[in-house]
Structure 1
Amino acid sequence: MAKHPFQLEAVWNGGRNSDGHIEAGNLKSSISIPREMGGPGVGTNPDEMLLGAAATCYVITLAAMLERADIGVESLTLHSDAVVDVTNNIFTYESITHKPVITLKAESTPLQVEKAHRLAHKAEESCMISRALAGNVKLATEETVRVV
């Protein structure tokens, strides 16, 4: 069994409403609490990074599954929405909804279209980040599959 370690270095410049910087491999970013949550809104924030991790993992997993199924993809795009609930100053990451648009090549069969729909949901179950979030964050997929 192979294990793949990842490291992150962080510098924080003060109290709650300050900012900082993170570096983890190719990820290099300023960070702070988002303006919508009473912070300075500098750089990115944990909410965006969690959504980014979930969306990136999902779209890569979906692309790999479509390729392994030998489904000809013309294009694959993704829009993902997250909802964070703030009640009594307690922040809860409530849900992530992925909305992939899978555009298949003109020669795609009805069976391939049906399989693309199934794989859009299976990718959510297979993605490492989705599995890490399962039971804590509601995950949903609302796919569109079309043929050009």
Structure 2
Amino acid sequence: MAEHVFHLKAHWPGGRNDSGIIETKNLQTKVSIPPEMDGPGIGTNPDEMLLGAAAACYIITLAAMIERSKIETVDLTMESVGIVDVTDGVITYKKIIHNPVVTIKQENKKTKSLLQKLALKAEKSCMISRALKGNVEVEAILSISN
């Protein structure tokens, strides 16, 4: 069994409405509570970062699956939405919806069907989606163009 270990350093010099810094091997950014949650909105925030991790993992997984399936693509883009519920002061990351758009060279029924299957399989195979399973609903809604 092989393990991959990732490291992060964080610095938070103040209270709730201050900002801090997180730093990894390839990322350094300011962080704070978002304005939607009455924070200062400096830099990014944990909600955006979770959405970013889920989206990056999903699109990379989907791209790899499409490549292995020998489907000739022209482009792969995606917009993702994170839905956070606030009920009685309890904040819960409720749902992530990925909306990938695959542009293919030649559209046919077989290719469209396979892409739909891959879009669902990528959501179930992505490491971040699996880590969230049981806590945050993750959904993928594929669009195909040519």
Range of TM-score over shorter length: over 0.9
Aligned residue pairs total 146
C-alpha deviations, 1:88-124, integer Å up to 9, x for none? 2211000000000011113x54312210111011100
Normalised by the length of structure 1, the TM-score is 0.96
> Aligned residue for 1:78?
78
Q: In structure 2, list runs of 5 or more residues that go unmatched.
A: none
> Does the 8 Å CA contact 1:117/1:145 hold for their aligned counterparts?
no
> Aligned residue for 2:19?
19
> Aligned residue for 1:89?
89
> Aligned residue for 1:31?
31
**3-state SS of paired residue (2:4):** coil
C-alpha deviations, 1:22-67, integer Å up to 9, x for none? 0011111000000110111000000000000000000000000000
Q: Percent identity?
A: 54
Normalised by the length of structure 2, the TM-score is 0.97
Q: How does 1:1-148 map to 2 (within 5 A)?
A: 1-106=1-106, 108-146=107-145, 148=146
CA RMSD after TM alignment: 0.9
**3-state SS of paired residue (2:39):** coil
AA matched with 1:101: V
Structure 1 runs (4+) greater than 4 angstroms displaced = none
AA matched with 1:144: S
Q: Name the stretch that deviates more: 21-30 or 108-117.
A: 108-117
Q: In structure 1, list runs of 5 or more residues that go unmatched.
A: none
